[in-house]
Structure 1
Amino acid sequence: MDEMLTLIVHILTVGAVGSQLTGFHRLGLIQGCDESSYDFSVVFDGEKLGYYDYKENRTVPTLPEFADPVIVPDFSEEAKRGQNTCKQLLDIVNQGSENLPEEIKAPLVSLYWKTEVKLRVSNSLVCRASSFFPPPVTVFWTKNNLNVTEGVSLGPYYQNSDGTLSVFSTLGFTPEPGDIYSCTVKHRALEGSQTRIWEVDTEVEELSLFATVLCVVGVCLGIFGAIAAVVLIVKANQTLNS
C-alpha cells in the first residue's frame, strides 16, 4: 500500500447538562496517529482546546493567541498510555483496508487581520486553512510579490467535529500604504494552490491626512476670525470716541 491511513479514535465523549439557557456541552478526548506521528487532544463543543506534545512531553493549549485564555488540564498520562493502543488499531485498520481509496478534502482558505489596521502600527495577518484532510498543508507568505519567512508562524492542527482539520498561520507586519500581502496554501487535494490577497488601504492615510488638514484650516480660520473681531471692536470704539 503506497499511503497508510490516518486513524482517529474518539476515546471519550461526555455530555454535560447545563441550564436551560446553555443546554448540553460535549467534552471529548480524541486520539489520532499515522505511521510516523501521534495526536492526543481535548475537544469542547467541537473546538480543540489542547493537545499533548510527544516531543516536548507536555500538554499544550491550541487556541490562537488572540482568543480568550483557557486552562487545559494535564493529560500526559492518558496520552502516553494511548500511544501504543492507537498504533495497534492503525495496523488492524491498514490490513483491512488496503484496497480502499483514501478520502481527501481540499482546504478552505481565508485571510484577515488580528486587530484594526492602523498605518505604521505593528499588527498580524492571520491565514486560516480549514476543513481539509489529510494533513499536511503548506503555507507561503509574500509581501509585494516577494517571499516572506521572517515573522511567520504555523500553529498546530485543530480537529473539527466532522474529522477534518484546520490550522492557523500568522505573519507579523507593520502596514505601509500600498503594501500587498498574500497567503498561499498547498494541499494534495488542490489542483495547484489557493491564494488570498490583502492590500493596505491607502484611503486610511488619505482620510487621516484630510482630517488633519481640515483641522489645521479650521484652527487658522478661527484665529483669523478672532483677530478680525478684535480689529472691528477697536475701530468701533475709536469711531464712538471721535
Structure 2
Amino acid sequence: MKALVPIVVSLAAGLSITWALEIRHRFRQLMSCETNVTQFEFDWEMDQDELLYVDLDKKQIVQRLPEFAEQWCRPESLLAETQINREICKTNVEYFAREAGLPPEKKVAPQTMVYAENLTVLGQLNTLICFASGFYPMPIKMSWTKNVQPVTEGVSRSQLYSNEDFTFRTFSYLTFTPALGDVYSCRVEHRALTEPDTKIYVVDVNTESDTRETALCGAGLALGLLGVALGLFFLIKGNHCN
C-alpha cells in the first residue's frame, strides 16, 4: 500500500517545488483453516499490528485498533462474509490438498518461555505468562500446574496471532500469589512436538533476597541524600556567618 504526501517548498523567486514522499504499508488479511479441524482464524493486520479479528463462536468482531479498523469495515457485513469464507476456506483446503496429492503436513514446533508479568514479590498478586511462538499448524494446547497439581482457576488464554512468516503465536496467563518454594509449570502440546514441552517457574529464596536488597539500597540512598542535605546546610550557614 502506498500513500503520496505532497510537500511544497516556496522559493524567494516566487517559484515552488512539489515533492511526493512515498510511504509504504503492509496490509494483510489472514484467513486460516484446516481439513477436519473446526478451528478457524480470520484477522486484519497493518504493519504487523492487528487491526481486528473475528470471533465466530461469539459472533462478534474484536477491534484491536478501532481508530484504524473502523475506517475500513462495517461489522455486520464483515461478520456475515467471514461465516461464508470459513466454509469456502475449508472446501478450498480439501480441494488443493487432493490436487497436490495429499502432501505431508507442514509442521513447525513452538518455542516456549515462561516469565512473570511484574517483579516477583512474595505474597503479592502477580501473573505468570507462558508464551509460545513460531508454531504451525494452528492447534496448540497449553496447561498449568502448581506443585505438580493441575491448575485451571485464574487461567486465561489469548487468541492466536500470526507472525510475519505465517506461523502463529499465543499467550497463556496464570494469576498467582508467589509463596516461597512453589513450583509452577506450563505444558505445551503441539503436533510438531514429539513430546510435550514443559517450562518451569520456581519461586525461590532469591526472590526474597532481591526484595531485601532493593529495600537496603533504597535505605542507603536515603541516608546518602540526607548526608548531602546536612552538608549543604552547614556550608550555607558557615558562609552566612562569615
Q: How far is 1:119 from its partner?
A: 1.9
Which stretch of the first structure deviates more once superposed, 166-175 or 46-55?
A: 46-55
Which residue is equivalent to 1:39?
Answer: 41
Which residue is equivalent to 1:24?
Answer: 24
Which residue is equivalent to 2:56?
Answer: 54
1-structure distance, mates of 2:96, 2:195: 31
Q: How far is 1:49 from its partner?
A: 4.0
Q: How far is 1:96 from its partner?
A: 0.7
1-structure distance, mates of 2:163, 2:193: 20
| Aligned mate of 1:161, from 154, 160, 164 | 164
Which residue is equivalent to 1:5?
Answer: none
1:111 counterpart = 2:106: no
Aligned to 2:188, what secondary structure does the other structure show? strand
State, as a whole percentage, how many aligned pairs show the same letter: 33
| Aligned mate of 2:174, from 148, 171, 176 | 171
Q: TM-score, normalised by structure 1?
A: 0.69
CA contact (8 A) 1:47 1:160 kept: no
Deviations 1:64-97 (A, max 9, x none): xxxxx63244442442453343234223213212
CA contact (8 A) 1:181 1:198 kept: yes
Aligned-residue Cα RMSD (Å) equals 3.0
Q: Structure 1 residues 18, 181: closer, same or farther in 2, change over 3 A? A: farther
Aligned to 2:90, what secondary structure does the other structure show? helix
Aligned to 1:90, what secondary structure does the other structure show? helix
CA contact (8 A) 1:16 1:26 kept: no
CA contact (8 A) 1:18 1:24 kept: no
| Aligned mate of 1:121, from 121, 124, 146 | 124
The gaps in structure 2 that reach 5 residues or longer are 7-20, 224-242
Q: How far is 1:23 from its partner?
A: 5.4
Aligned to 2:184, what secondary structure does the other structure show? strand
Which stretch of the first structure deviates more once superposed, 201-210 or 99-108?
A: 201-210
1-structure distance, mates of 2:4, 2:115: 36
CA contact (8 A) 2:2 2:23 kept: no
Q: Structure 1 residues 200, 96: closer, same or farther in 2, change over 3 A? A: same
Q: How far is 1:15 from its partner?
A: 4.9
Deviations 1:92-118 (A, max 9, x none): 213212331111111110111112222
| Aligned mate of 2:143, from 119, 140, 143 | 140
CA contact (8 A) 1:122 1:173 kept: yes
Which residue is equivalent to 1:131?
Answer: 134
2-structure distance, mates of 1:16, 1:173: 47
Q: How far is 1:192 from its partner?
A: 0.8
User: What residue identity is the alignment partner of 1:40?
Assistant: F
Aligned to 1:101, what secondary structure does the other structure show? coil
The gaps in structure 1 that reach 5 residues or longer are 1-13, 62-68, 220-242
Deviations 1:16-40 (A, max 9, x none): 5789x99533122112223434322
User: What residue identity is the alignment partner of 1:188?
Assistant: R
2-structure distance, mates of 1:203, 1:100: 51
1-structure distance, mates of 2:3, 2:173: 34
Which residue is equivalent to 1:6?
Answer: none
2-structure distance, mates of 1:175, 1:133: 33
2-structure distance, mates of 1:99, 1:79: 26
2-structure distance, mates of 1:91, 1:208: 57
Q: TM-score, normalised by structure 2?
A: 0.69
Q: Structure 1 residues 181, 95: closer, same or farther in 2, change over 3 A? A: same
